Structure 1
Amino acid sequence: MKKVFAIVLVMALILSMVACGAGGGSADKEEKAGTLGVVMPNATHGFLGESIAHAKAEAEAIAAETGMDVKFLTSAESSEQNNQIDQLIADGVDCIVLWPHNGDEVRSSAQNVMDAGIPLIIYDRLINDFKPTAELMGDNVTIGEMTGEYFNKFFAEDLKAGKVNILEFKGDNSTVPEQRSSGFKSTADPNINIVQQFSTDWQRAKAMEQMETWLSSSSKEDVEALKAVFTHDDEVVLGVLDAIENYDGPAKLDIKLVSGVGARKENLDTFAPWADKGVMQVTYAFSPAMVRDAVELGADVVLGKEKPSGLILIPTVEVDNSNEKDFRNNDIYVTRYSIEMPK
């Protein structure tokens, strides 16, 4: 009887060890999947709102496919973003993808991430004089350079005769407008004269107000000498066009070209109607779906598939009146509108 009882105990112990081993395997699988933190500014519409929608879609797909825990966080301003980063460090996440509100304002928290040995991927807005694990962004310098070259070709004959006056509408004070402006100035003909610069906060209404104010407060001579508007965003373009449409002053407008960044459907739809009014447009494909690449890269780091470093640039496509219809079949455009966007 004792022998039988001993055999039963041994079998129970073996079964218990097997069960623990199975449980340990599951735990190991979960541990291997790891945790990714994605930290972004928040928004309900526009480029950032669309970016959040794409980032969430990518995060959900990665979580479903790999079992990875993705902590997706958004914030209204830098101090809240700093708190989120510090909490992710405390949680011991395996990688952080960070889209900063403003690089300088999150530098300390970003450095804490690196000091904790957590891989950090910075997306879109860089942190000056700071070296994360990797940086991924649209090629803003090249966008500026291409815009300058486009202006040179468009106004080739005018530039031979003298100055071509333009206005510049920037987005904000982050590294993105800095790069686009510096790229533009590096290639634009010296005779392309930037009469005034504006900071729009990427807003259509603000750009419209600024353009209307300039048109109404400038001399008739200066208004009639304006040949083009260089903007950093398609949303801003619409504000500028609104102001041009609303102008009823004494000057005869001679604006021939307006440039943007984004290649959005809302803007492409205006190309033909405004061309009929004598205003041509050019924009540079800068899709909110690019953020998917950053989230995917972060997931690959967590899974041990990638060891990225340095600056990773996403190429762009130039879109003007000659190719806007064909561009609607481009993968950049198709992917952008592959999911339902915020209204």
Structure 2
Amino acid sequence: MKAIRAGALLAAVACVLALVGCANAVAPGDTSHPAVDPQHATIGLLLPDSTNTRYESADRPAFESRIHAKCPGCTVAYQNASADAARQQQQAESMLAQGVAVLVLDAVDGQAAASIVNEAAAKGVPVIAYDRIINSPDLSFFVSADNDQVGVLQAQSLVARLHELGVPKGGGILMVNGSPTDNNAVLYKKAALSVLDESGYTVLAKYDTPDWAGSEAQTWVAGQITQFGNRIAGVYAANDGLAEGAIAALQAAGMSPVPPTTGQDAEVAAVQRILAGTQYMTVYKPIRRQATIAADAALTLVNGGTPAGTGTTKVAGKTVPSVTLTPVAVTVKNVKKVVIDSGFHTVDQICTPAYASYCKEHGIS
């Protein structure tokens, strides 16, 4: 008995002398995540697709820049799912196996991605839902734009433009929605319809575009032109990629001027179309700020803290700390101030030779 007590005492003394090691020890059979060196952590960033150019041009570089600025010894492990939920699952599992300290996840499918969060939780790895909510109670943080407001701004802008053009009540609108697996697309559509249904204009047809693919939008709109022709007075497109596809179909059908078309994300090509008059509006979201907030939250989690949100979001019966950013409707009237003067895009990016005359016309130089 004395020998046992002596052994226990020696073990206790050893723990006192190496307190951090004992505190972080993993018991046999424990599948939780091992101890992480906060100064040399690997943070996983999983983005959903490359169809939307913002992910590679804005979200990823802003996130990586912030991580490296605040934690020079940290590493960002990055993967893009190319709009494939099964691929994203495999990418997440690979990152978890490699020992990432935190996952920042923009889900292809918010329902399916719950399994990723569950697996991460089982390994003690916190997950930040980025841009799109994930249906899991185990989320640690959520950051996104106000997605309801995005849909409202799009629809309000379209209706206002139809009024300016003198389109009578009953005029027709095509509705090109986002991917049915993206919860944000569901929110945009619902919010937009809350405006359009009260506008006096008629939604001729609706389409939920698989994987946010502009080519799919183009094919569908081409079919609707065959059916509805000049009854089409405007197009609700949920983002700039869908707007591009819709506009291509309208132009191919010889519709000139192109009916007012909405968008989202303030992509370079969309801003150029707005200046040229082929796309009516887009929605600017502070994407780089969103990525910075996500990076800061990830580093807080790496260091054992709890990210502070400016509010909360209820998901799967749990309240998750969150930050919701404010979107801005952008037309030719305010594109310089919102997109150029803010530094979101540069003059050189927008005013390429093909668009130089439009830039000059609208005072961008």
Interval containing the TM-score (normalised by the shorter chain): 0.7 to 0.9
SS for the counterpart of 1:101 is: coil
Instruction: Note if 1:99 corresponds to 2:106.
Output: yes
Q: Calculate the TM-score normalised by the size of structure 1.
A: 0.74
**Alignment partner for residue 93 of structure 2, among 86, 91, 113?**
86
Instruction: Note if 1:321 corresponds to 2:332.
Output: yes
**Alpha-carbon offset, residue 74 of structure 1:** 3.7
**Alignment partner for residue 39 of structure 1, among 31, 46, 57?**
46
Show the 5 A alignment for 1:133-152: 133-152=140-159
**Alpha-carbon offset, residue 266 of structure 1:** 1.7
Show the 5 A alignment for 1:169-248: 169-173=176-180, 174-188=182-196, 189-200=198-209, 201-215=211-225, 217-218=226-227, 222-248=228-254
> Structure 2 CA distance, aligned partners of 1:87 and 1:209?
36
The answer to whether the Cα contact below 8 Å between 1:166 and 1:228 also exists between their aligned partners in 2 is yes
Report the more deviating stretch, 146-155 or 319-328: 146-155
Q: 1:281 matched to which residue of 2?
A: 280
**Alignment partner for residue 310 of structure 1, among 311, 321, 343?**
321
The answer to whether the Cα contact below 8 Å between 1:139 and 1:316 also exists between their aligned partners in 2 is yes
The answer to whether the Cα contact below 8 Å between 2:162 and 2:234 also exists between their aligned partners in 1 is no
Structure of higher CA gyration radius: 1
Higher share in helix: 1
Sequence identity percentage: 17
**Alpha-carbon offset, residue 213 of structure 1:** 2.2
Q: Which amino acid aligns with 1:208?
A: Q
5+ residue gaps, structure 1, are: 1-20, 25-29, 339-343
C-alpha change, 1:126 and 1:87, in structure 2 (3 Å) is: same
Number of equivalences: 300
Q: 1:262 matched to which residue of 2?
A: 265
Q: Which amino acid aligns with 2:190?
A: S
SS for the counterpart of 1:261 is: coil
5+ residue gaps, structure 2, are: 1-17, 22-35, 309-319, 350-365
Report the more deviating stretch, 78-87 or 233-242: 78-87
C-alpha change, 1:325 and 1:109, in structure 2 (3 Å) is: closer
**Alpha-carbon offset, residue 298 of structure 1:** 0.9
C-alpha change, 1:282 and 1:335, in structure 2 (3 Å) is: same
Q: Which amino acid aligns with 2:232?
A: L
The answer to whether the Cα contact below 8 Å between 1:63 and 1:70 also exists between their aligned partners in 2 is no
**Alpha-carbon offset, residue 256 of structure 1:** 4.0
> Structure 2 CA distance, aligned partners of 1:117 and 1:245?
52
The answer to whether the Cα contact below 8 Å between 1:94 and 1:119 also exists between their aligned partners in 2 is yes
> Structure 1 CA distance, aligned partners of 2:98 and 2:67?
18
Q: 1:15 matched to which residue of 2?
A: none
> Structure 2 CA distance, aligned partners of 1:337 and 1:273?
16
SS for the counterpart of 2:234 is: strand
Q: 1:11 matched to which residue of 2?
A: none
> Structure 2 CA distance, aligned partners of 1:144 and 1:44?
20
> Structure 2 CA distance, aligned partners of 1:329 and 1:237?
21
> Structure 1 CA distance, aligned partners of 2:237 and 2:130?
22
Q: Which amino acid aligns with 1:263?
A: A
**Bigger relative CO (Cα 8 Å, ≥ 6 apart):** 1
SS for the counterpart of 1:197 is: strand
The answer to whether the Cα contact below 8 Å between 1:95 and 1:120 also exists between their aligned partners in 2 is yes
C-alpha change, 1:74 and 1:261, in structure 2 (3 Å) is: closer
Note the alpha carbon deviations across 1:274-299, whole angstroms, 9 max, x for none: 2xxxx660110136534343233212
